[in-house]
Amino acid sequence: MVVWSHYLSIHIHVTWNLFREMDSMSAKEMINTANEKAMEIMFTSQPKWVDVQPALKVIPGMKKNLILHAGPPITWERICSAQKNGVAGAAVFEGLADSVPDAMKKLAAGQIEIDACNNHNTVGSMTGITSASMPVMVVKNFPYGNYSYINVHEGPSRTRLTYGAYNETVHKNLIWLRDVLGPALEYAVKRMDGLEIIPIIARSLTMGDECHNRPTAGSALFALAVLPYIVESDLEKSEIAKIARFLQATEHFFFHLGMAAGKAATDAMSGTEFSTIVTCMARNGTEVGLRVAGLGSEWFTGPAAEIEGVYFTGYGPEDAEADIGDSAIMEVYGLGGFAMGASIPMAYALGGMASDAIRYMESMVDITTARHAAFKVPALDFKGTPVGIDIRKVVQTGVLPIIDTAIAHKDGGEIGVGIARPPMECFVKSLEAISNKIKTAVSQ
Amino acid sequence: MVVWSHYLSIHIHVTWNLFREMDSMSAKEMINTANEKAMEIMFTSQPKWVDVQPALKVIPGMKKNLILHAGPPITWERICSAQKNGVAGAAVFEGLADSVPDAMKKLAAGQIEIDACNNHNTVGSMTGITSASMPVMVVKNFPYGNYSYINVHEGPSRTRLTYGAYNETVHKNLIWLRDVLGPALEYAVKRMDGLEIIPIIARSLTMGDECHNRPTAGSALFALAVLPYIVESDLEKSEIAKIARFLQATEHFFFHLGMAAGKAATDAMSGTEFSTIVTCMARNGTEVGLRVAGLGSEWFTGPAAEIEGVYFTGYGPEDAEADIGDSAIMEVYGLGGFAMGASIPMAYALGGMASDAIRYMESMVDITTARHAAFKVPALDFKGTPVGIDIRKVVQTGVLPIIDTAIAHKDGGEIGVGIARPPMECFVKSLEAISNKIKTAVSQ
């Protein structure tokens, strides 16, 4: 609240003028037409999982000494503690440094580079750490031809690199993902001739998932889809059984493919001139970055907020990193908090009742453009989820998007779940930017 | 309605007297204490899947020339068409006859015998056909030591013996179940040291299942639990992959274990003297049979009703067998129609909205004894499902239990889903019987 009030006082005059200008018939029409176009792209996007390959081989601009992280780009000096640990751990895993302290030194010196996942058509949950040799799942958005990438989920442990934790167990597991699970998934997806992601998401919404913090049903459906093919691979039975147990236990596995689907669909929307629809909300624990369809890949940032959370036993807000991860792509895509009505168990885990699940979700109607054409919620008689966050509506109503998220410990590890809101600052800044674009266009 | 009105006119005087007698303090107390005891048995029952064996080897009273069917016992002359076809098919499958006509002749002559599954601690869905060599899943009710049995689900085809269909494909599939899937499941369950059924049911209720007509999530969780062990068996990879695909496609697989769990728990309640709680509702397409805890294994029957159904394309009520199957054990156990609030998609498939799902379920509160201690419904803020049908309350309120069921074609095959109600006659008859017992006890 403090941040927003402060920002409000600065910007109230600016935004007032802004709306006056954007309220002209021609400006309104330009924006609305653009938004319709952007939403059509979202609804006609057909993200399909098509491959698993080492990051270096497929991610555009990936380099051996580059480590990708969640959120908007950030300098090494300002990077938050969990992400710092994750980046350093990945550097050791990649053989770029002998130890975590050595990695820290090389990172500070710029010998090892960092960049935002989102700058490389990639998304990553929590710290989002993605390095050269890690296997990434490749998603192709069929009608538009663009690709997105995400690393393979590390499994059910709360201690994993994604949460900024790095130790011998984490290291060994990363090797298993790289050498066994990644190739097994590659074999399966090729034998399957790819896997459409939207039908699994749509179905899982009828099975208690909101697909962000609760992707349980989707992960089960996914596991049952790939396992027959993995059984038929050349792997030893003991290794196949290990994979089967891993997929059974990793209830968040499909969440990563959901994120990649959201990334593929929203990347296709990016560059729709004059559109005020959000294409990306990403957090690095220090800042939240926003991207808007009409403003391409430009970042609009504000400070990352504290999460209103429910903590696992033994942890509290004092242990927590601020809002972190690219996973808010799910909310941008009409899932997570925007689909909470589909997941009363998730709302319940956050301290809410059935009515709160509906309320959370429906409060997003005021800041969105449409009901999702494919993502439907049983409890609302199969109405679509609210989708297409319009920065105009966010600034006008003061209602900030709800992000249903997990909480990382500052020293690494998962310590809870909660609800976060991105700062108003990003929305006001991006609205100013698009207003300027429109002013120029209208006056020409 | 015709049936009930007719029966009402006969029984209104009888039941009036009945209630007067049962309303005495001592009678009420006896019944309520007995019902508490019966419900305690239900809630402390821990049904665990422990084995898979040929029916002949484990089902009490099973014989080579005996074929079990769903519903109360019935003579060959009165058996409905779908069940007749199923029994005859099983006789051919078992080598008891050369052809279906030959089987019909031998069945009419009593050379091949039939009996109700429920008379042998067994349940069967739809026609319920269970014969000697078929593999059955064995469930043990741990605190009480009793066992229940159910055949292995035949798979996703609408044409199967369970639906009274018998042909070369059905026959071949039955052989595969007997020779491959049954033994594979036996291997898995023994390696797993058994599998508790209640946790899967409870979890699936948070994933859109009502566990009778929609057991999708439960089946997925079950498949993921057994597959790692089946992978480790001696089977060829190609056979394991076939099993993995079969379990993925058979979304009703876990429904059978749910039924066996219900049977194990309610059999343990059976014989609780003076209890008016229903322990079994079973239908054979001709009659519905009721069993009540205080009346042991005695059957109280009435005519099987038509199902209010939604039919698959190309079918209608004229094709349909009347209400059939032992699966109403799910409703007796607080699932199916009694848990519809957990499965809005199921209510929707039946033509209802979200509010109807809740309404269906909550209308059962008036005829039940408790909220289930373990089966909880997210949409009702995790209230338990109504459970423990009290025959007194059914007769007093006139509200008949809802059974969420499938529809069989008269000539075999699955043709729809719908809602059925058992006839009031069973409830009135059983109430008379228990009233007589109580009168005798009170007057002594």
Q: Can you give the pLDDT at residue B15? A: 60
A380 reaches B (C-beta below 8 A): yes
- B240 touches A at CB < 8 Å: yes
Which candidate in A195, A227, A346 is best for mutational testing of the B interface (most B CBs within 10 A)?
A227
Cβ B223–A224 below 8 Å, yes or no? yes
Please give the Cα distance from A391 to A237 (Å, whole number).
52
Q: pLDDT per residue over A36-87, tens digit each? A: 999 999 999 999 999 999 999 999 999 999 999 999 999 999 999 999 999 9
Res A245 pLDDT > 90:
yes
What is the pLDDT confidence band of residue A308, given thresholds at 50, 70 and 90?
A: confident
Q: B229 to chain A: nearest residue by CA?
A: A241
Please give the pLDDT value at position B16.
57
Q: Provide the residue type at A395 as one letter.
A: V
Query: In this predicted structure, what is the pLDDT of residue A340?
Result: 97
Q: What 8-state DSSP symbol labels residue B97?
A: -
pLDDT at A440: 87
Interface residue of A204, A231, A236, A250 to substitute, partner B, most B CBs within 10 Å: A231
A208, A224, A380 ranked by CB distance to B206: nearest:
A208
Q: Do B227 and A216 touch (CB under 8 A)?
A: no
Examine the pLDDT at A14 and tell me if it is beyond 90. Answer: no
DSSP B392-417: HHHHHH-PPPPEEEEEEBTTSSEEEE
B208: closest chain A residue by CA: A207
Chain A hits for B216, Cβ within 8 Å:
207
Q: What was the pLDDT predicted at A218?
A: 98
pLDDT band at B3 (very low <50, low <70, confident <90, very high): very low
A237 interaction partners in chain B (CB closer than 8 Å): 231-232, 237
Interface contact flag, A208 B244, Cβ < 8 Å:
no
Pairwise CA distance, residues A42 & A267, whole Å: 9
B224 with A225: Cβ contact below 8 A: no
Q: What pLDDT is stored for residue B301 in this prediction?
A: 98
> Which of A216, A231, A248 lies nearest to residue B237, judging by beta carbons?
A231
Q: What is the side-by-side order of every strand in the sheet holding B414-420?
A: B308-311, B414-420, B403-408
8 Å CB contact of B353 and A381? yes
Report pLDDT digits (tens) over B183-241.
999 999 999 999 999 999 999 999 999 999 999 999 999 999 999 999 999 999 999 99
Residue labelled with tokens 């002209």? A24
Residue B310 near residue B256, CB atoms below 8 Å:
no
Distance CA A353, CA A358 (A): 9
A424-443 helix and A25-44 helix, angle to the nearest 10 degrees: 120
pLDDT at residue number B18: 63
Q: How far is B379 from chain A (nearest CA, A)?
A: 5
Vertex A424, ends A421 and A430: CA angle to 5°? 120
Residue B24, pLDDT score:
72
Q: Distance (Å, rounded) from C-alpha A388 to C-alpha B284?
A: 53
Chain B hits for A248, Cβ within 8 Å = 224-225, 227-228
Task: Report ipTM for this prediction.
Answer: 0.94
pLDDT category of residue B366 using cuts at 50, 70 and 90 = very high
> Which tens digits make up the pLDDT trace of B133-152?
999 999 999 999 999 999 99
Nearest to B231 among A207, A231, A379 (CB): A231
Residue A98: CA count within 13 A, CB half-sphere: 1
Chain segment A110-143, per-residue pLDDT in tens:
999 999 999 999 999 999 999 999 999 999 999 9
Q: For the segment A262-287, what is each residue's pLDDT rounded down to a tens digit?
A: 999 999 999 999 999 999 999 999 99
Query: Pick from A224, A228, A241: which is nearest to B232 by CB?
Result: A241
| Reported confidence tier of residue B20, pLDDT bands at 50, 70, 90 | low
On whether any CB of chain B is under 8 Å from the CB of A345, the answer is: yes
Whole-structure pTM value? 0.94
Question: pLDDT (tens digit, 9 = 90+) per residue, B258-291?
Answer: 999 999 999 999 999 999 999 999 999 999 999 9
* pLDDT above 80: residue B28: yes
Answer yes or no: do B241 and A232 touch at CB < 8 A.
yes
- Cβ(B322)–Cβ(B307) under 8 Å? yes
Q: Does A378 touch chain B (CB under 8 A)?
A: yes
Residue of A nearest to B230 (CA): A241
Does the pLDDT at position B4 exceed 50?
A: no
Residue range A97-106: mean pLDDT, rounded: 97
Check CB contact under 8 Å for A248 and B228. yes
Cβ pairs bridging A and B (under 8 Å): 91
Q: Which residue among A220, A353, A381 sits closest to B224, beta carbon to beta carbon?
A: A220
Of A216, A353, A379, the CB nearest to B207: A216
Mean per-residue pLDDT, B45-70 = 98
Q: Kindly report the three-state secondary structure assignment for every residue of chain A.
A: CHHHHHHHHHHHHHHHHHHHHHCCHHHHHHHHHHHHHHHHHHHHCCEEEEEEEEHHHHCCCCCCCEEEECCCCCCCCCCCHHHHHHHHHHHHHCCCCCCHHHHHHHHHCCCCEEEEHHHHCECCCCCCCECCCCEEEEEEECCCCEEEEEECCCCCCCCCHHHCCCCHHHHHHHHHHHHHHHHHHHHHHHHCCCEECHHHHHHHHHHCCCCCCCCHHHHHHHHHHHHHHHHCCCCCHHHHHHHHHHHHHCCCHHHHHHHHHHHHHHHHHCCCCCCCEEEEEEEECCEEEEEEHHHCCCCEEEECCCCEEEECCCCCHHHECCCEECCCHHHHCCCHHHHHHHCHHHHHHCCCCHHHHHHHHHCCHHHEEEEEEEEEEHHHCCEEEEEEEEHHHHHHHCCCCCEEEEEEECCCCEEEEEEECCCHHHHHHHHHHHHHHHHHHHHC
Residue from B205, B207, B210, B221 to probe the interface with A (highest A Cβ count within 10 Å): B207
Q: Which of residues 220-239 of B touch A (CB under 8 A)?
A: 220-221, 223-225, 227-229, 231-232, 237-238
User: Within chain B, how many helices (H) and strands (E) appear?
Assistant: 16, 15
Check residues A444 and B91 and name the one with the higher pLDDT: B91
The mean pLDDT value for B357-368 works out to: 96
Rounded Cα distance, A363 and A376, in Å: 16
CA B5 to chain centre: 27
- Residue among A217, A248, A348 whose CB faces B217 most closely: A217
Q: How far is B347 from chain A (nearest CA, A)?
A: 10
A:202-221 residues touching chain B, CB 8 A cutoff: 206-208, 216-217, 220-221
pLDDT digits (tens, 9 = 90+) for A314-352: 999 999 999 999 999 999 999 999 999 999 999 999 889
Name chain B contacts of A220, Cβ cutoff 8 Å.
217, 220-221, 224
- Which residues, including other chains, have CB under 8 Å from residue A78's CB and lie 6 or more apart? A286
- What pLDDT was estimated at residue B443? 78
CA distance between the termini of chain A: 39
CA distance B342 to chain A (A): 10
pLDDT value at B8 more than 80: no
- pLDDT(A18) > 70: no
Q: Tell me which fold the domain A48-259 belongs to.
A: Enterococcus faecalis V583 fold (3.90.1710)
What pLDDT is attached to residue B442? 80
Measured in residues, chain A has a length of 444
Q: Which of A248, A345, A379 faces B206 most closely, judged by CB atoms? A: A345
Please compute the mean of the pLDDT values over residues B288-315 and round it to a whole number: 94
Identity (one letter) of the amino acid at A80? C
Task: In whole angstroms, give the CA distance from residue A275 to residue A30.
Answer: 8
Least confident of A30-34, A373-377, B4-8: B4-8
CATH 3.40.50.300 fits A2-45+270-443, yes or no: no
Among B405, B407, B282, B421, residue whose Cα is nearest residue B346: B405
Asked if A213 and A402 count as a contact pair (C-beta separation under 8 A), the reply is: no
> Which of helix, strand or coil describes residue B7?
helix
Cβ contact B348–A227 (<8 Å): no
Write out chain B residues lying below 8 Å of A378, CB-based: 208, 344-345, 348, 354
pLDDT band of B2, cuts 50, 70, 90: very low
Chain B's closest residue to A230, CA to CA, is B241
Q: Mean of the per-residue pLDDT values for chain B?
A: 94
* The pLDDT of residue B1: 38
Q: Report CB contact under 8 Å: A208, B217.
A: yes
B223 contact residues in A (CB cutoff 8 A): 224
Q: Nearest Cβ partner of B241 from A225, A228, A382?
A: A228
Identity at A166, one-letter amino acid code: Y
Nearest-Cα distance to chain A for B250, in Å, is 11
Domain-wise residue ranges, chain B: 1-444
